[in-house]
Amino acid sequence: MTSRRDLLRAARQTLAAAGVASPDHDAAVLLAHVLGTSKSGLALVTDVTAEQAAAFDELVVRRSAREPLQHLTGVAYFRHVELAVGPGVFVPRPETELLAGWAIEQAGAGTVVVDLCTGSGAIAKAVADEVPSARVHAVELSEDAHAWAERNLAGSGVDLRQGDAFTAFDDLLGEVDVLVCNPPYVPLEAWESVATEARDHDPHLALFSGQDGLDAIRLLEARGAVLLKEGGVIGVEHADVQGESAPAVFAATGRWQEVRDHEDLAGRPRFLTARRAPVG
C-alpha cells in the first residue's frame, strides 16, 4: 500500500517539472480516475494499492509527455454535459462555454440552431441539453471527429451530419435562427506558440486556418449569410489576437448588423456575434 498523499506529492512534482500548467489539478484528476472516484472523493482515501499506484504512475508519465488530460481519462466536461473524447477529436476548451452560453441565450422553442464544425458535439449537445425545445443541427467533416460526435449526441435529438461545414445544410437555406461555430483559427505562422497538448494531439484540421488564421472565418461569413434568415444571429469563436480582424471580416461585406466582439473571463477577445441584415 502507498499513501495517497505521497503519491500525489510525487506526481505534482513530476508534472510541474514537465511544464504541465496545472500539476495539482491534473494529479488529483488522474488519481481519482484510477480509483473510480471524484476529485473531491480523494479526501476519503488514505492508502492506494500497488496495482492502482502503478496505473496512476503510468498516467502521470503520459501526462508529463503532454498527452491531454482528457485523453487519459476519456472525458471532457462542458457546461452541464459530459463528453467522450480521445485521439482524433478536438478537446473542447472552457472558454468555448461562453460561446455556447450565448447560443443558448438566443435559442427558444422551435428555434433552428446550427452548429458548424461541431467536433466532439460539445456546443450542439449543450444547446440541446439546456434548450430541449430548440431544433439543433450539427455537422463535422472529419470522419474520426464525427464518430466521437455521433457517440456524444446519441439520444440528444440533434440532427448530426458528416460533411463540409461551408457547404452543408442546403435544406436549411434562409431558415436558420442561430448559427454557431468554433472554427479552426490558428495562423500557420503561429505553429510554435500553440500549446504542446493541442499541437501534438488535437487534429490540425480543427486548429489551423491559413497564414492569418481567418480562412475558415471568411468561408463562414459567406455561408452564414445564406443559411440565416433575416435577423438571424451568428456567433464565432476566434483567437485572442483576432479581436479586430475577425469582426472586420463580417463588417466589410455589408451583410451584417450589430457586429461586435466579446471577451472571455480573462478579458481576452474570444468570439464575435452579428445579426443578418435585411436583404435588398
Total domains in the fold of the chain:
2
By DSSP bridging, strand 81-84 and strand 75-78 are: antiparallel
Domain-embedded: residue 95: yes
Concatenated DSSP letters for 42-67? GGG--EE-HHHHHHHHHHHHHHHTT-
**Which CATH number is 10's domain given?**
1.10.8.10
Instruction: Indicate whether 123 and 35 sit together in one domain.
Output: no
Residue 274: all three cell numbers together: 452579428
Domain-embedded: residue 82: no
Q: pLDDT-derived band of residue 45, with 50, 70 and 90 as boundaries? A: confident
Q: Alpha carbon of 52 to those of 33, 40, 41, 49, 108: distances in Å?
A: 10, 18, 16, 5, 47
Instruction: Indicate whether 147 and 107 sit together in one domain.
Output: yes
pLDDT greater than 60 at residue 146: yes
Q: What is the pLDDT of residue 188?
A: 54
Domain-embedded: residue 78: no
Domain-embedded: residue 71: no
Q: Provide the annotated binding site.
A: 140, 182-185
CB 76 within 8 A of CB 190: no
Concatenated DSSP letters for 192-246? GGS-HHHHHHS-GGGTB-SSSS-HHHHHHHHHHHHHEEEEEEEEEE--GGGTTHH
Q: What is the mean pLDDT of residues 53-66?
A: 94
Q: Provide the annotated binding site for substrate.
A: 182-185
Instruction: Indicate whether 102 and 235 sit together in one domain.
Output: yes
Q: What is the pLDDT of residue 187?
A: 53
Residue 269: all three cell numbers together: 477577445
**Which CATH number is 219's domain given?**
3.40.50.150
pLDDT tens string 180-205: 999 876 555 544 444 554 444 444 44
Domain-embedded: residue 206: yes
Q: Provide the annotated binding site for S-adenosyl-L-methionine.
A: 140, 182
Instruction: Indicate whether 36 and 99 sit together in one domain.
Output: no
Q: What is the mean pLDDT of residues 166-176?
A: 97
Instruction: Indicate whether 166 and 123 sit together in one domain.
Output: yes
Instruction: Indicate whether 128 and 259 sit together in one domain.
Output: yes
Instruction: Indicate whether 91 and 224 sit together in one domain.
Output: yes
pLDDT greater than 70 at residue 28: yes
Q: What is the pLDDT of residue 204?
A: 47
Instruction: Indicate whether 126 and 228 sit together in one domain.
Output: yes
Instruction: Indicate whether 152 and 262 sit together in one domain.
Output: yes
pLDDT tens string 219-242: 999 999 999 999 999 999 998 888
Q: What is the mean pLDDT of residues 135-148?
A: 95
Instruction: Indicate whether 19 and 116 sit together in one domain.
Output: no
Backbone φ and ψ for 139, nearest 5 degrees, come out as: -145, 145
Q: pLDDT-derived band of residue 164, with 50, 70 and 90 as boundaries? A: very high
Burial, 55: exposed, middle or buried (Cβ in 10 Å; 0-12, 13-18, 19+)?
A: middle
Residue indicated by cell numbers 452564414: 224
Instruction: Indicate whether 140 and 24 sit together in one domain.
Output: no
**pTM > 0.85: yes or no:** yes
Q: Which amino acid is at 275?
A: R
Range of the domain at 24: 2-65
Domain-embedded: residue 108: yes
pLDDT greater than 80 at residue 177: yes
